[in-house]
Structure 1
């Protein structure tokens, strides 16, 4: 019982690691009422997204699945892949590959910290401090990667196809970057309706970014 009550997962959905987002749409999706970005929380035992004024309580699983599917649909759209390839022309692939390698090494170190804590080799405070430092470094590396490619992180070998086939296993920061790059996600208020009576389209609206003019005509 003591171990359960002391488990940080019960308080925040995961070990506390500063302000690093732990959900797909926190800080990205917008409230359809006030226009502010939403955060993850729990409401009556259900994980939801909502703004600070709780205009929305959108089930997190519904929103995450819809946003993920929309990203994948955008990635396979006829006009998107050519624009991605065109934007990568003339880039320094050596720099890009080196940054990807460094980012992957940091993610492996993060996994190692979690394993060391689970096995009792380090304390929670040691894991938290180490995680915060590594996540800050990972964000810096991915920021540099974005500057090099002009795009969110993408594997230099597998490219967009690898992102599509491996979406569910893609690290959360990378999925968040692609959601933010490709979509505008707006969460809608229930307006008195019960969540079980709402469709996915009732819960949220998804609009693609970087759409060519011809696509909307």
Structure 2
């Protein structure tokens, strides 16, 4: 019964369905926006991320992968409640695991006079903001999971053209951030087996003698 598709939804059901699917796009774009902020610190302020920072970026991407899968699934055919729950369940697990990485880094620098790692935004370091973002993401995904019966998306034929177009945009944005994060990791680590805990340059450029 839980996986039954909505075949003849009322107008209110259509609205809730579409709002639910719009939320999947907002979730993915929001997490990518969080990574964009980290990129600003890295490339705009020359603050190189440590291995734990990169691990947190990975979990942001993994959390976005669940809703992105829902968006991709909806563009090809019907999406069941099971599909919806699977995507958001994945998002919650990834966000909670990522929050443990952020919390670990917070605890590493919480005792004064430790100045913390890298710069701060409004008095909080990026790993603290990451912890807040992970917990907020887990709560948002949990609400979406709780509302599965009301937010189950419509099949592709019943969706508006804007939703179908947005699906392609959302997946493209996630792909760009995933690829750019992979490239950034490679430049930071270079050809060495282990990335330094406090990087001060791009090891790949150092390996090339640049």
TM-score of the aligned structures, taking structure 1 as reference length: 0.29
Identify, as 1 or 2, the structure richer in helix.
2
Larger strand fraction of residues: 1
TM-score (norm 2): 0.30
Higher relative contact order (CA 8 A, sep 6+): 2
